[in-house]
Structure 1
């Protein structure tokens, strides 16, 4: 019973993380709450990968819903044996959790690249990625942030939001990994009758 509760909680935890990922990714499109930069395409290119909206957001919501459905006792019986049915449900859950790891890992990678590259901003020399050659070194060079004059405080805006996306997606990776481990334990250690046909022994 404890393992079942643990597996159910892991799936449920994915829902708030996915919702927050969507919200944070949307905020990246509106520096300081202004829409003009999105409409004029004056945003960092990595926000257009929709990592928080699609991959660690909507796709994770769908996966979480499927995982929760699989854990319900009312789920469709795919075979006559109860242990067989639970094993196949666990196997499907493993596949879905592995997909979750792929989706959230993609979000971590894209958000990290966006953080390292730095924002697309206006400087006395014009619009551009003035920090892209620093390999992320600008993150600790606070004095250089003032070189971005527009949007105002865009460096802080990007750093905070991309860091939150990395944290949220990283938690999703961990949760999905734990889900895989829990389901594999259920398959390998929980039931053996699925591999033994009645009457053979």
Structure 2
């Protein structure tokens, strides 16, 4: 497969992942599926790891990857293939941006999962806090009863942040693959260059 075609496949994979990350982050603003005051929402939600890092920031490299296959490579300094080589090289920069964005989302998700959700722990005094320490609730589900409200907040918190963590890792891996693909495309050229070959094959 041509370097540009392979990059397009990566872009096609990144788009739905970015949309899914945005949706997960939005849902986290509604703990347990309910509307809460901002001070009742887990702090890490406001860092927008899924909304910005794995979401909006990931759209840019995805669009660049999608456009590489159709990039015009003709007539660059007398070298027909250098336009496409430059495009593949520039895609490495966008891939690096994608890795940074996905990495940000992964770090935020990992911290949030270790810390646990913010929830009502004392109904008498109306105290909202983080009742778990160093991820202890991940091994002992009996601790989940410390969260009184919102209902099923621990499941909600774990499920959405786990999805963000996994999708962020997948995005980072795909962008890392494009770094290698971009280097190969820049050094070796695209095997399907639009100006290469006497038959004009694309």
Please name the residue that 1:129 is paired with.
Answer: 130
**Partners of 2:72 and 2:188 in 1: CA distance:** 23
Count of residue pairs the alignment pairs up: 187
Deviations 1:50-109 (A, max 9, x none): 111111101111221123223323479765522211111011100100110011001000
Deviations 1:4-45 (A, max 9, x none): 32221011111000000000111111123212x1x3420110
Please name the residue that 1:114 is paired with.
Answer: 112
Distance 1:61 1:78, change over 3 A: farther
**Partners of 1:69 and 1:77 in 2: CA distance:** 19
Shifted more, 4-13 versus 18-27: the winner is 4-13
Shifted more, 16-25 versus 56-65: the winner is 56-65
Relative to its length, the structure with more helix (as a share) is 1
Structure 1: which 5+ residue stretches go unaligned?
Answer: 192-201
**Partners of 1:123 and 1:77 in 2: CA distance:** 68
1:1-201 alignment to 2 at 5 Å? 1-35=1-35, 37=36, 39-74=37-72, 79-124=77-122, 126-131=127-132, 134-190=133-189
| TM-score between the two structures when normalised by the length of structure 1 | 0.86
Distance 1:77 1:123, change over 3 A: farther
Contact 1:104 1:173 in 2 (8 A): yes
**Partners of 1:85 and 1:14 in 2: CA distance:** 25
**Partners of 2:75 and 2:26 in 1: CA distance:** 40
Measured on the aligned residues, the alpha-carbon RMSD in Å equals 1.9
- SS for the counterpart of 1:123 is strand
In the TM superposition, residue 154 of structure 1 has moved relative to its aligned partner by 0.6
| TM-score between the two structures when normalised by the length of structure 2 | 0.85
In the TM superposition, residue 187 of structure 1 has moved relative to its aligned partner by 1.8
Distance 1:51 1:80, change over 3 A: farther
Structure 2: which 5+ residue stretches go unaligned?
Answer: 191-202
